[in-house]
Chains A and B, each alone.
Chain A
Amino acid sequence: MRRFYLFGFLLLMAFDTLAQISFKYAGTQALPVQASVAWLLRVFSQPWVYGAVVGYIGAFFTWMTLLKHAPIGPAFAASHLEVVSVMLLSIWLFDEHLTLPRVLGAIVIVAGIVCLGAAESHAQAVGDDPDAAPA
C-alpha cells in the first residue's frame, strides 16, 4: 500500500503539473483574450491545449484509482503537492521569482504531506488501518 500511495500521488502530481503548465502556455500563445470564435480557434490550434486535456484526463483516472483506498480528507490535502511542483517549474519555464514567503509556504505544504505519509505508515505498521472496512 505504501508503494501504491507513493507512486499514485507522484503520478497525480505529474498530470496536474502538466495540465497547469499547458494551460499557461496555451493561454499565453492565444493572446489577446477575447470572447470570440477567433480566440477559441487560436486556443485549439496550438498543441498546448491538448497537453492540458491529457493532464486532466490522466489526473482524473489516477485520482479515482487512489480514492479506492485513500481517505478523502488526507488525500485531498496531499493532492496540493501540485502547488509546490508548479511553483518550482515556473521559475525555470516562466522566469517567475522565488520569494521568501513562497518558499516558506512550499516548505509548510511539504511538511504537511510528510506528516500525512507518516500517518499512513504508522497506521499500517501497527496493523490498524483507520479506514479499513470490517471484513
Chain B
Amino acid sequence: MPTDGSISALVAGLWLFNVILDTGGQLAFKAAAGDRAAGDGLARWKYMAARPWLWLGVGGYVIEFLVWIAFLSLIPLSEGVLLGSINIVAVMVAGRFLFGEKLTRLRVIGILLVTLGVAIVGLAA
C-alpha cells in the first residue's frame, strides 16, 4: 500500500474517476439499448449506432480501461476488485433515479449480496 500522501490522493482520484466512468458508461448503454423507438433486429443496431449514447458508452469504457491500468499499477488487484464492488451499488442507485427502476426488496437484497460477494473475493485474494 502506498503510504505517501500524494500517491494516496492519486489513488483516490483514479478510483473516483473509475466509478464515474463505469457508472456513466453503463447508464449510456442502457439509454441506448432501452430506447423503445429503436425497433428490432438490424434496424435497432443502425438506430443505436446513429445516436450518441452507444458511442458515449464505448468511449467511456476505452478511457476506463486506461484509468484501470493506471489504478492497478498503484494498488494490488485484490484491493482494486474490493473498491470496484462499489460500482454495483452506484449503478443501482443511478438506475433508480435516471430510469425509474423499482428497487423491490428482493432486487436490493440480490444486488447487495452480489456487491458483498465481490468485496469478499477482493479481500480474499
Q: In the complex, how many residues of chain A place their beta carbon closer than 8 angstroms to a beta carbon of chain B?
A: 39
Is there an interface contact between A119 and B114, defined as CB atoms closer than 8 Å? no
Is there an interface contact between A72 and B30, defined as CB atoms closer than 8 Å? yes
**Which residues does chain A contribute within 8 Å of B32, judged by CB atoms?**
64, 67
Q: In the complex, how many residues of chain B place their beta carbon closer than 8 angstroms to a beta carbon of chain A?
A: 43
**Which residues does chain B contribute within 8 Å of A78, judged by CB atoms?**
110, 114
A135 to chain B, nearest CB (A): 10
Classify the secondary structure of B's interface with A. Answer: helix
B25 to chain A, nearest CB (A): 10
Give the complex CA separation of A116 and B87 in angstroms: 17
Query: Which listed residue (B33, B111, B121) contacts A116, Cβ 8 A?
Result: B111
Over the window 94-125 of chain B, the binary record of Cβ atoms lying under 8 Å from chain A Cβ atoms (1 yes, 0 no) is: 11100111111011011111111111110111
Residues of B within 8 A of A (CB): 26-27, 29-30, 32-34, 36, 44, 48, 54, 87-88, 91-96, 99-104, 106-107, 109-121, 123-125
